[in-house]
Copies of this chain bind each other. A is one copy, B any other.
Amino acid sequence: MSHADLSLVDAYWRAANYLSAGQIYLMDNPLLTEPLAPEHIKPRLLGHWGTTPGLNFVYAHLNRIIRERDLDVLFLTGPGHGGPALLANTWLEGTYSETYPDVPRDGEGMRKLFRQFSFPGGVPSHVAPEVPGSIHEGGELGYSLAHAFGAAFDNPGLIVACVVGDGEAETGPLAASWHVNKFLDPISDGAVLPILHLNGYKIANPSLLARIPHDELDSLLRGYGYAPFYVQGDDPDDMHARMAEVLDQVVDEIHRVKQRTDRPRWPMIVLRSPKGWTGPSEVDGVPIENTWRAHQVPLAGVRENPEHLRQLESWLRSYLPGELFDGDGRPRAELSELVPRGDRRMGATPHANGGLLLRELKMPGIRAHAVEVVKQGSTHSEPTRVLGRLLRDVITLNQADFRIFGPDETASNRLDAVFEVTGKQWQAETLPVDEHLVRDGRVVEVLSEHLCQGMLEGYLLTGRHGLFNCYEAFIHIVDSMFNQHAKWLKTHKRLDWRRPIASLNYLLSSHVWRQDHNGFSHQDPGFIDHVMNKKAEVVRVYLPPDTNTLLSVADHCLRSKDYVNVVVAGKNETPDWLDIDEAVLHCTRGAGIWEWASNDEDEPDVVMACAGDAPTVEVMAAVKLLREHLPSLRVRVVNVVDLMRLQPDTEHPHGMPDREFDALFTADRPVIFAYHGYPWLIHRLTYRRTNHHNIHVRGYKEEGTTTTPFDMLVLNDMDRYRLVIDVIDRVPGLGPKAARLRQLMQDQRTRHHAWIREHGEDLPEVRDWTWQ
């Protein structure tokens, strides 16, 4: 690298640092054309300076090499708190003003850029969806590297440069993410370049990885499977020279890895630079630069404290803004020599606005996979096994655009038909005994829900499609990641320039009612409740009662955009209730009366409602008992697939108007509702409805252990016998026959208890039960 080249990189870096500090402090006088005065300073000083100069350093150097080698680079900001850095760089390179023409690349634009930062009505302080070039917020730490790997899959020409903060590096998800290099295929996938940024400190503590001996750190990173390159120091000239040299080596190494077939050892960079680099080194006699005190705003009370004001001015002028910007506030022409062209600019890459690259998923059609249903409930099938065949064909039709992620459970969840056409991606050692491990496969399995979620998010945000299949109980592991993705989606949908991306689809199987064998720790249906707290415009929950409805729901979800879809479906044999036409119609409606199962002739004595596969079986079994023993009782069966339908249409786009709700659930008849999850959710969704006081919900109430499937229902009072008792207790005037049936049901529950303790399996009449 010539000295002139490095001077340019340094000028660019100084410009970005100036623009970053300016955002934190200034609401006027952006070019310091007059002496800094209190009225130029924002009344509230917000922002994270500490990480920012390091991010600017990396960005400037990446610009240099992108431009020099025409690289396709996506930049991920693990320390997403450093919003000023990305805003500064995208403004400098022009992409910010192209995205937001009201913030032009001139003096007035700079004033707006500064003022809007962390300002009411302005832009958030983090690398939020509003920032061009970003797929990663970084407000909640830990997911950058998993996002990076997800973005790199099936993008063979892409380099994902991912800055990992040393704070973030202490989190669990990040610590696990290093190992994803055992999946990435050098041929068919892109490269991930982790840049571990050791600036040494968090909010109030040193970071662990900055305080272990160099040899130990090196050993750790080599143990993760990387070849680390170190850039370390605080002298800008030395650091520029070293960073340029290392980036050249690293890019050479990436190309070398991608041309070989032996097990890859990807390069990575360790950048050890001071926290708050180039900022105030001391304030009021206390060291700031290179300490945790530089984390947020290094100089406080600037409006009130003339000494701090003076110090701020001298800090800002230390970047020599007059050399960087012309009199109109435009970056000087020579700076543009460092800016990559067009979409090569990291703020303009279409990978960060995945909807631009999104190809519609080719769907194979669900009818070919439907199970034949001559008469409702007369046959049985395993819903997720049949879904596996649909997914197999989705994979065939969409080779480089669709992936399935799962924590070692794809076969356990009975989706293994996919292995007829693909394998599990794997670059670690293989043995002859292995099955389905391949270099380039559509399935990625690792025993970490965090990694599955993170990789899928990265994959979707860069314009592809996918599915996360998981045991229902353990999806709570990613509650917080779901939160952040839902928040991202909400904001993304409100930005015109961000194009729709594929929905994040959860298939939750091995659910609460069939974890009788694994016990209490595996029994938890609460993810639905968690999801319901997020904006109605981004969340959907489906509980298909059988195989064909699962196919219909899956078809709908896989085609959809900008949602999080939660589908809960069993893997065990369950009655086929609806043929494919009925299933599509029922799923389109989202909830409906099953007339073939009802005998109410529009005047029910009781409504038996169900949502979920296990509750549907119990309701149907209860209905059969009622028909047999109380044939004159008019029972209506309502099945709910789309849980959002229960809400008023004022609350959720899928919500039903009250009239429609009353038409299904009546205005005054008792409703016995068997629900898959915690019962109170049904109350929450329906409490504004006319008949709410008459809705009696059964569901999971946190009772369970290792037992039989039917005992799980009994323990939680959702078994058929209990449902019959509920009907008898709620419908007035049923007479002595009902009283006898009630006793019979109680006897059956007692008999069940004794039977399972004696035989270790369920009552024969339960095991062999069929509707037809």
Q: Are the CB atoms of A43 and B208 closer together than 8 Å?
A: no
Which of chain B's residues have a CB closer than 8 A to the CB of A216? 222-223, 225
A428-B208 CB under 8 A given contacts A223-B216, A447-B167, A684-B680: yes
Partner-contacting stretch, out of A12-20, A29-37, A333-341, A404-412 = A404-412
Which of chain B's residues have a CB closer than 8 A to the CB of A535? 702
- Which single residue of chain B is at the shortest CB-CB distance from A424? B205
- Which single residue of chain B is at the shortest CB-CB distance from A538? B702
A124-B520 CB under 8 A given contacts A204-B410, A408-B203, A706-B118: yes
A606: interface (CB < 8 Å): no
- Which single residue of chain B is at the shortest CB-CB distance from A450? B172
| A324→B178 CA distance, assembly (Å) | 47
A431: interface (CB < 8 Å): yes
Which of chain B's residues have a CB closer than 8 A to the CB of A221? 223
Q: Are the CB atoms of B176 and A707 closer together than 8 Å?
A: no
Q: Are the CB atoms of B484 and A521 closer together than 8 Å?
A: yes
A417: interface (CB < 8 Å): no
| A601→B428 CA distance, assembly (Å) | 76
A189: interface (CB < 8 Å): no
A733: interface (CB < 8 Å): no
- Which single residue of chain B is at the shortest CB-CB distance from A293? B433
Which of chain B's residues have a CB closer than 8 A to the CB of A175? 172, 175-176, 178-179
| A142→B474 CA distance, assembly (Å) | 11
Cβ 8 A contact of A524, one of B202, B204, B483: B483
Q: Are the CB atoms of A445 and B176 closer together than 8 Å?
A: no
Q: Are the CB atoms of B678 and A687 closer together than 8 Å?
A: no
Q: Are the CB atoms of B411 and A204 closer together than 8 Å?
A: yes
A187: interface (CB < 8 Å): no
A203-B412 CB under 8 A given contacts A208-B179, A479-B530, A480-B479: yes
Q: Please give the count of copies of this chain that the complex contains.
A: 2
- Which single residue of chain B is at the shortest CB-CB distance from A533? B526
A757-B121 CB under 8 A given contacts A204-B411, A212-B182, A526-B533: yes
Q: Are the CB atoms of B204 and A120 closer together than 8 Å?
A: no
Partner-contacting stretch, out of A133-141, A348-356, A381-389 = A133-141
- Which single residue of chain B is at the shortest CB-CB distance from A428? B211
Q: Are the CB atoms of B167 and A517 closer together than 8 Å?
A: no
Q: Are the CB atoms of A170 and B446 closer together than 8 Å?
A: yes
| A128→B203 CA distance, assembly (Å) | 38
Q: Are the CB atoms of A529 and B519 closer together than 8 Å?
A: no
| A684→B445 CA distance, assembly (Å) | 38
Q: Are the CB atoms of A705 and B124 closer together than 8 Å?
A: yes
A259: interface (CB < 8 Å): no
A173: interface (CB < 8 Å): yes
The interface bits of chain A over 6-48 (1 if a CB of B lies within 8 angstroms of the residue's CB, else 0) are 0000000000000000000001000000000000001110100
A393: interface (CB < 8 Å): no
Q: Are the CB atoms of B433 and A142 closer together than 8 Å?
A: no
A734: interface (CB < 8 Å): no
The interface bits of chain A over 189-218 (1 if a CB of B lies within 8 angstroms of the residue's CB, else 0) are 000000000000011111110011100111
Which of chain B's residues have a CB closer than 8 A to the CB of A43? 759-761
- Which single residue of chain B is at the shortest CB-CB distance from A532? B680
For residue A476, give the distance in angstroms from its CB to the closest CB of chain B.
4
- Which single residue of chain B is at the shortest CB-CB distance from A138? B521
| A206→B433 CA distance, assembly (Å) | 10
- Which single residue of chain B is at the shortest CB-CB distance from A142? B172
A233: interface (CB < 8 Å): no
For residue A250, give the distance in angstroms from its CB to the closest CB of chain B.
20
For residue A427, give the distance in angstroms from its CB to the closest CB of chain B.
10
Which of chain B's residues have a CB closer than 8 A to the CB of A705? 124
Q: Are the CB atoms of B529 and A445 closer together than 8 Å?
A: no
- Which single residue of chain B is at the shortest CB-CB distance from A431? B206
A369: interface (CB < 8 Å): no
For residue A224, give the distance in angstroms from its CB to the closest CB of chain B.
7
Q: Are the CB atoms of A211 and B518 closer together than 8 Å?
A: no
| A683→B684 CA distance, assembly (Å) | 7
CB interface residues, A 141-200, toward B, < 8 Å = 141-142, 167-168, 170-179, 182
A676: interface (CB < 8 Å): no
A171-B474 CB under 8 A given contacts A124-B519, A760-B44: no
| A706→B121 CA distance, assembly (Å) | 9
- Which single residue of chain B is at the shortest CB-CB distance from A209? B179
Q: Are the CB atoms of A125 and B519 closer together than 8 Å?
A: yes
Cβ 8 A contact of A447, one of B141, B473, B711: B141
A219: interface (CB < 8 Å): yes
For residue A484, give the distance in angstroms from its CB to the closest CB of chain B.
6
Max count, chain B CB within 10 A of own CB: residue among A120, A220, A412: A120
A487: interface (CB < 8 Å): yes
Q: Are the CB atoms of B517 and A491 closer together than 8 Å?
A: no
| A447→B128 CA distance, assembly (Å) | 21
A434: interface (CB < 8 Å): yes
Which of chain B's residues have a CB closer than 8 A to the CB of A437? 205-206
Max count, chain B CB within 10 A of own CB: residue among A409, A526, A692, A706: A706
Which of chain B's residues have a CB closer than 8 A to the CB of A433? 287, 290-291
Q: Are the CB atoms of B429 and A211 closer together than 8 Å?
A: yes
Cβ 8 A contact of A206, one of B178, B434, B480: B434
- Which single residue of chain B is at the shortest CB-CB distance from A121? B757
Which of chain B's residues have a CB closer than 8 A to the CB of A173? 172
Q: Are the CB atoms of B473 and A140 closer together than 8 Å?
A: yes
A203-B684 CB under 8 A given contacts A126-B518, A221-B223, A223-B219: no
CB interface residues, A 71-124, toward B, < 8 Å = 80-81, 118-124
For residue A222, give the distance in angstroms from its CB to the closest CB of chain B.
5
For residue A203, give the distance in angstroms from its CB to the closest CB of chain B.
5
Which of chain B's residues have a CB closer than 8 A to the CB of A217? 223
| A412→B118 CA distance, assembly (Å) | 20
Cβ 8 A contact of A707, one of B120, B141, B530, B687: B120
Which of chain B's residues have a CB closer than 8 A to the CB of A633? none
Cβ 8 A contact of A125, one of B408, B480, B517: B517
A397: interface (CB < 8 Å): no
A451: interface (CB < 8 Å): yes
| A453→B141 CA distance, assembly (Å) | 17
For residue A28, give the distance in angstroms from its CB to the closest CB of chain B.
11
Max count, chain B CB within 10 A of own CB: residue among A291, A476, A535, A711: A476
A589: interface (CB < 8 Å): no
| A171→B220 CA distance, assembly (Å) | 17
A376: interface (CB < 8 Å): no
Which of chain B's residues have a CB closer than 8 A to the CB of A511? none
16 contacts between A and B (CB under 8 A): A42-B760, A119-B706, A119-B760, A121-B757, A125-B706, A172-B450, A179-B208, A203-B408, A203-B411, A204-B410, A220-B223, A223-B224, A476-B483, A483-B524, A530-B530, A683-B687
- 4 other contacts beyond A126-B518, A287-B433, with CB at 8 A cut-off? A171-B450, A176-B176, A182-B208, A205-B437
- Closest 9 interchain pairs by CB? A220-B223, A139-B521, A172-B172, A120-B756, A175-B175, A476-B480, A219-B223, A211-B428, A170-B447
